[in-house]
Structure 1
Amino acid sequence: MKKFIVISALFLSLAGCGNSVPELIDAEKSDKKLIIVTTLFPVYDFAKSVGGDMVEVTLLVPPGTEPHEYEPTASDIININNADVFAYTGGFMERWVPGILGSVTNKNLEAVNMSEGTEIVEGDPHIWLDFDHDRIMVKNIADAIVRKNPENKNYYEKNLEDLLSKIDKIDYDYKMTISLCKSKEIVYGGHYAFGYLVRKFGLGYIAAQGLSPDSEPTAKDLIELTNQVRKNSVEYIFYEELASPKVAETISNETGAEMLLLNNLESLPRDEIASGKTFIDAMYENLNNIKTGLDCK
């Protein structure tokens, strides 16, 4: 008989609600694949790339959802408890993780803080936007997968090598492209998500909002940013995918600057994930828009 490891009180609280219970992860999968639960899209994609056909990977934060203020549902907690591996980006974005890990009953759960070993800037959770960090993150998830399934170590290590090669290639492509840019400053009509990337490649960076997408710019902030765009003859202003583009639109309307997407990859739309778009794919799309926006020949 199939059985599910559950947290009883939470399951009962679900049953007492009018809504149906979301689909749960089966703790005794017949195909014996490792069950990996991840929080954000970069972690999800890295786990899939390393684990390949040997793993079943679940993304907790629904596609297209802003994750900064996300709170796990009862079914999310049950799925974490039923997993072999639970991977998250760190303590700044997923502040709820310590409480969840303190309540799970699955003593064999391998919890992976993907930021372990990275150089974190205080308060900035967007560690995956530095390729040096990505190399560490993919090794962290690979180590966890191997610990849970050592008999397939060679398979996972080959996948890791392939992924590291792709990271090396895109890192080089960013470096070469940005070295040819006439403009060296990104004007971003969203929250301050690209600090790691601009520091790595020596770019200037002006963002309309702080580290949280909920922080609204004041009228004074918008006026100053609009004046700066005019003064510097900025031709393109970037906007983010998950948040409203109204700030970028306002500046664009006032200055005539065109708008370009710069995706911080906290999440992707459901159809893009379903189509198989990877972290590397999305970062190349960002690079193409940076090439246009900063006039890189």
Structure 2
Amino acid sequence: MSRRAFCLLFMFIMLSFPLQGCSLYKEAGPLKTNLAGSRINIVTSIFPLADILQNIGGELVEVTTLLSAGASPHTYEPTVEQARIVARADLIVYVGGGLDDWILKLASMAEKEVILVEVMDFLEGFVLPHLPPCTTAHDEEHHEHEHEHEEDCCDHFHGFYDPHVWTDPFLVKEKIAPSLAEILAGIKPESKSEIMSNLKIFQEELQALHEEITAAVRSFTRKHFIAYHSAWNYFALRYGLEVVANVEEFPGKEPSAKWLSELVKLAGEHSVKVIFAEPQLSSKVAQVIAAEIEGKVLILDPLGGVGLTGRDSYIRLMRYNTEIFKQGLQ
């Protein structure tokens, strides 16, 4: 994707989700609605957030995920019924960073006071630049002549970050889970001790997961890989792996023939023999690249979901992905 197209798309996204007039939104804290003896009604955009909140909230929460298993948040279209579910929520939790901002329009239809939480807000100083940036290695090589015309546009968007923060379990343990626990405790202060006890247990499980992944990665003989899209930068950074490139230059954007040729070249330069695809996205292009490099396609899953064996909790999902990485890189 050229820098001009990226900038125009970003502007369209930002202008499509105005927040004006959302008078029912409030800061985290006790709601005016009396929740004594009842559960906090939580709506999340994606399953990993729902499971994290369920672990922390336990019997104090009822959590609904809008995105169904197998769907992509990048291309998702909410249903009328889901709009009704959001309208009844006490707490809405989404990732932000352009991943699931479609939830903002649903939240604006809330029938009552609602707390709206963007996970990216917890992570100032911990987030990575979004891909693609305004310039990339192949953009520099193939689009130098466009630079002067598009530089001003992209200078406005250096704050656009990679939203796939939950793929780093240690970041979930240290930042995301504690922040969500504080929000739940603020809504139900009378249950704070229970919430913090649940948090401690969950953090211990996350620490064990982190140590398992760290030990597994030590056995990998290769560290470089190509992913279908930019879901694995946080995981790679945490565990010493390197994303050579992503097949999709931007979510939902089919790669050009020129970029596919560049990917084959990059795979050869870094001895990459596996392309990691995802169940939410078509693997046809990944299969084409794998055939060119005489490699294979393996399926990572950043989202999981209820009813997916081995991927029906956040912990099990990340163990599944670690095993897939092991198959491809050991």
TM-score, normalization by structure 2: 0.72
* Structure 2 runs not aligned, ≥5 long: 1-32, 129-159
Correspondence 1:243 to 2:281: yes
Instruction: Report how far residue 287 of structure 1 moved.
Output: 0.7
SS at match of 2:327: helix
Correspondence 1:51 to 2:90: no
Correspondence 1:165 to 2:200: no
Correspondence 1:208 to 2:247: yes
Correspondence 1:187 to 2:226: yes
Give, in whole Å, the separation in 1 of the partners of 2:241 and 2:321.
15
Give, in whole Å, the separation in 2 of the partners of 1:29 and 1:222.
54
Give, in whole Å, the separation in 1 of the partners of 2:296 and 2:106.
44
* CA-atom RMSD in angstroms: 2.6
TM-score, normalization by structure 1: 0.79
- 1:10 is aligned to none
Correspondence 1:272 to 2:316: no
Instruction: Report how far residue 291 of structure 1 moved.
Output: 1.6
The letter for the 2-side match of 1:55 is V
Match of 1:142 among 140, 156, 181: 181
* Structure 1 runs not aligned, ≥5 long: 1-26
Call closer, same or farther: CA 1:269–1:100 in 2, change over 3 Å.
closer
Match of 2:321 among 262, 283, 286: 286
SS at match of 2:120: coil
- 2:171 is aligned to 133
SS at match of 2:272: coil
Q: Is the 8 A contact 2:96 2:119 kept in 1?
A: yes
Q: Which runs of 4 or more aligned residues in structure 1 lie more than 6 Å from their structure 2 counterparts after TM superposition?
A: 27-31
Q: Identity of counterpart residues, as a percentage?
A: 27
Give, in whole Å, the separation in 1 of the partners of 2:192 and 2:122.
22
Q: Is the 8 A contact 1:36 1:87 kept in 2?
A: yes
- 2:295 is aligned to 257
Instruction: Report how far residue 247 of structure 1 moved.
Output: 1.6
SS at match of 1:116: helix
Match of 1:84 among 82, 86, 90: 90
The superposition leaves residues 256-287 of structure 1 with CA deviations (integer Å, 9 ceiling, x where unpaired) of 2122112222xx355318x8821110111111
Match of 1:120 among 120, 124, 127: 127
The superposition leaves residues 91-113 of structure 1 with CA deviations (integer Å, 9 ceiling, x where unpaired) of 42122344444443412x22222
Instruction: Report how far residue 243 of structure 1 moved.
Output: 0.2
- 1:72 is aligned to 78
Give, in whole Å, the separation in 1 of the partners of 2:213 and 2:87.
39
SS at match of 2:307: helix
The superposition leaves residues 143-187 of structure 1 with CA deviations (integer Å, 9 ceiling, x where unpaired) of 222222222222221111111112112222222222332211012
The letter for the 2-side match of 1:218 is S
Call closer, same or farther: CA 1:226–1:276 in 2, change over 3 Å.
closer
Give, in whole Å, the separation in 2 of the partners of 1:91 and 1:194.
15
- 2:152 is aligned to none
The superposition leaves residues 25-73 of structure 1 with CA deviations (integer Å, 9 ceiling, x where unpaired) of xx99997222111111111111111121222111112222111132433
Correspondence 1:106 to 2:103: no
Give, in whole Å, the separation in 1 of the partners of 2:311 and 2:171.
23
Call closer, same or farther: CA 1:254–1:276 in 2, change over 3 Å.
closer
Instruction: Report how far residue 129 of structure 1 moved.
Output: 1.4
Give, in whole Å, the separation in 2 of the partners of 1:82 and 1:147.
19
The letter for the 2-side match of 1:164 is Q
Q: Is the 8 A contact 2:273 2:290 kept in 1?
A: no
Instruction: Report how far residue 231 of structure 1 moved.
Output: 4.9
Instruction: Report how far residue 252 of structure 1 moved.
Output: 1.9
- 2:195 is aligned to 156
Q: Is the 8 A contact 1:64 1:270 kept in 2?
A: no
- 2:134 is aligned to none
The letter for the 2-side match of 1:167 is L
Q: Is the 8 A contact 1:88 1:113 kept in 2?
A: yes
